[in-house]
Structure 1
Amino acid sequence: MGSLHRVAHRGYSAVAPENTLPALAAGVLAGATFIEFDVRTTADGVPVVVHDRTVDRTTDGSGKVWELEFDEIARLDAGSWFSPAYAGVGVPQLTEVLDLLRPHAVLADSAGDAGVTPAVAPRVELLLEIKPPATLEQVKFIVGQVADAGLLDRTVVQSFDPAIVRLAGEAAPDVRRGLLRDAFDTSQVEVAQELGVSFCNPSMNAVLGSPGTVAALADAGVAVMPWTANDVTLWPDLVEAGVAGLITDHTGELTGWAAAR
């Protein structure tokens, strides 16, 4: 059996506030092979990393992300809701996240680059979810920032919205794409092939309820990584079902478990 991808869901979100720089950095340190995060676009066109449609749950502000300008979002506290230790942590721009992760995603060219040598440089990949609503121009801008950071070949762009998956393919035909699902579609292999995705990432229940679909997708060259795999007692069953990785809030625990298998 091949190695199991360890996907840090919104970063190592069990130990730091989700989708913040501390959580994403903690995911790297905890041994994630993929760092997963969510991107939305502000009213003035700035891609920011936040999950919900509004900022209400994870900041001290309120309002829909796409109705707020970046300067308004930049003033928000995105850490205190999780712990007083993270008071003052903000909602990051996508460019800040790319700057943070780039040294861990690209092999160093010399011993001085990123403080590591080519032999020991960690290599993570990015699992970037674009949240709706998103226009073609917004998707192009998001993908363009990834390309400018030199991370396009280390990134999978995914969405629950097939239209956004198509837009990502239009914006960058060579970028790997993923389709998120709550449950598998009735013709999931055909849907995945029509969209040209490399990953189809459904809920854990979908995987446990239909391992045959997981196998059929694998035969078609489409990997499956279910969300959100926080129950360690289910990890063996999910692996037995043939998944390529697990998306979890408990990155460190998954790294230890995978090493001990």
Structure 2
Amino acid sequence: MLQLGDEVTMYSLVFVVVLLGTRSPVWTAAITASFYLFLAVFRFPQVPANRVRQVLHPIRGTTGSGKVSVVAHRGGGHDAPENTLAAIQEASKNGATGVELDLEFSADGVPILMHDETVDRTTNGSGPLSQMRLSELHKLDAAAKHRLRDKFAGAKIPTLEEAVEECIKLQLTIYFDVKGHPDEAAAALKDMYKKHPVLYNSSIVCSFEPKVIYRMRQSDPDVVTALTHRPWSLSRFGDGAPRFPSLWKQHWMMLMDIILDWAHHHVLWKLCGVSAFLIQKNFVSPEYVQFWAQRGVEVVAWTVNTNVEKEYYQELLKVNYITDSLVEDCEPHY
């Protein structure tokens, strides 16, 4: 729940902004009250804290004095071909608590693991997923572009079902990263939770898109969920470079970033009833962790790839983190 101070500040800000736009106290009061009622009626409650702790802090694989969970990004894309069974197995062998896996769909509607909308970056194939059936995807070598391609030659793009079964067998927590397709993803994951009830205590559904999380909570309110966020993501790339050559458009998107950031921290998390907030590592501080702790939400940082950073998160912040490698320093994937 938001603290009283947050409630007063949020609705006061809404009131002032609307008043400046409408210059009508009556309309301003009506709109602010409608906003309050909307949140009160349509928000989802958070999953009970004891179940959230089972998911975010399982006994297996936690490290450091704060029992921090270390999650392999895309299965640990530096140590093995990302989003493959080989990566999941390698992450388990290297001591990961869990794996973050990207959910996408083949042209024939089968849920699979893939980060991009095309197969070009990671396989020996080319083309958009939306035009490739599962039978075609299974013919590709998912290790073709990996630095350890010889070691993992022949790795395949797995289905969601195959990946889930492997994680359950290895007792790995799963962070399902959903890029889009809110209705399809919610339906596929709901079926997966129904088929494998153990997932309720060993997985979390995450997304940059609040609509995905809200749809997941509609489909199954017992699923633990998280919003993923990187400030300035609309106006800048992961390395900080501006997205748009037009100065006007760049500044407009920066304004949209400010609004989106405010919405994530004061509205969207409460509407969706999330239990965790996945945030890009550069924006995490002790104060930021405390901000979310006061709201019953845990912080998970991404992508933490150096030993110095890992020690900072494990011993000082005591915050779960997502990493590309369990065994060495490496450059982050954005």
Q: Which residue identity lines up with residue 195 of structure 2 in the other structure?
A: D
**Alignment partner of 1:168 is 2:168:** no
* Aligned-residue offset at 1:186: 2.6
Contact 1:226–1:243 (8 Å) recurs in 2: no
Question: Aligned to 2:189, which of 142, 147, 154?
Answer: 142
Kindly indicate whether residue 262 of structure 2 is the aligned counterpart of residue 186 of structure 1.
yes
Equivalent residues of 1:48, 1:92 under 8 A apart: yes
Q: Contact (CA 8 Å) 1:178, 1:198: kept in 2 or not?
A: yes
Q: How many Å separate the matches in 2 of 1:240 and 1:219?
A: 20
Q: Structure 1, unaligned stretches of length 5 or more? A: 106-123, 255-261
Q: Distance in 1 between matches of 2:143 and 2:212?
A: 29
Q: Deviations over 1:117-145 (max 9, x none)?
A: xxxxxxx311111112x041442123312
Q: Which residue of 1 aligns with 2:69?
A: 5
Q: Which runs of 4+ in 1 moved over 6 A?
A: none
Partner of 1:118: none
Conservation of the 8 A alpha-carbon contact between 1:46 and 1:93? yes
1:97 is matched with: 163
- C-alpha change, 1:151 and 1:131, in structure 2 (3 Å) is farther
Matched, 1:16 2:80: yes
Secondary structure in structure 2 of the residue aligned to 1:226: strand
Q: TM-score, normalised by structure 2?
A: 0.65
Calculate percent identity across the aligned residue pairs: 32
Contact 2:306/2:328 (<8 A) preserved: no
User: Alpha-carbon deviations, 1:186-232, whole Å to 9, x = none?
Assistant: 35154322221111001111114xx4232111121111111110022
Contact 1:8 1:35 in 2 (8 A): yes
Give structure 2 stretches of 5+ with no counterpart: 1-64, 233-260, 330-334
Distance 1:28 1:146, change over 3 A: farther
Q: 1:22 to 1:192 in 2, by over 3 A?
A: same
AA paired with 2:100?
Answer: E
Determine the C-alpha separation between the residues in 2 that align with 1:167 and 1:87. Answer: 38
| 166-175 or 179-188, larger mean C-alpha shift | 179-188
Alignment of 1:54-93 (within 5 A): 54-82=118-146, 83-93=149-159
Q: Which has the higher helix share?
A: 2
Alpha carbons 1:19, 1:50 under 8 Å: kept: yes
1:53-103 CA distances to partner (integer Å, 9 max, x unpaired)?
Answer: 111100111222223211111111101211122221110001111121112
- Which amino acid in 2 is paired with 1:96? E
Matches of residues 216-255 of structure 1 in structure 2 within 5 Å? Answer: 216-239=291-314, 242=317, 244-252=319-327
Residue 53 of structure 1 is matched in structure 2 by 117
> Residue type matched to 1:248 in 2?
T
Q: Structure 1 residues 58-67 or 158-167, which shifts more?
A: 58-67
Aligned residues between the structures: 233
Larger Rg: 2
Which stretch of the first structure deviates more once superposed, 44-53 or 149-158? 149-158
Q: Does the 8 A contact of 1:204 with 1:238 survive in 2?
A: no
Residue in 2 aligned with 1:131? 179
Q: Please report how far the alpha carbon of residue 239 of structure 1 lies from its aligned counterpart in structure 2 after TM superposition.
A: 4.7
> Residue 205 of structure 2 corresponds to which residue in structure 1?
157
2:230 and 2:167 map into 1 onto residues whose CA distance is 28
1:151–1:62 distance in 2 versus 1, CA, 3 Å: farther
> Superposition RMSD on alpha carbons, in Å?
2.1
Contact 1:136 1:171 (C-alpha < 8 Å) held by counterparts: no
Deviation at 1:37, TM superposition (A): 0.7
Q: 1:243 to 1:196 in 2, by over 3 A?
A: farther
User: Against the structure 1 CA distance between its residues 189 and 135, is the aligned structure 2 distance closer, same or farther, given a 3 Å change threshold?
Assistant: closer
| TM norm structure 1 | 0.82
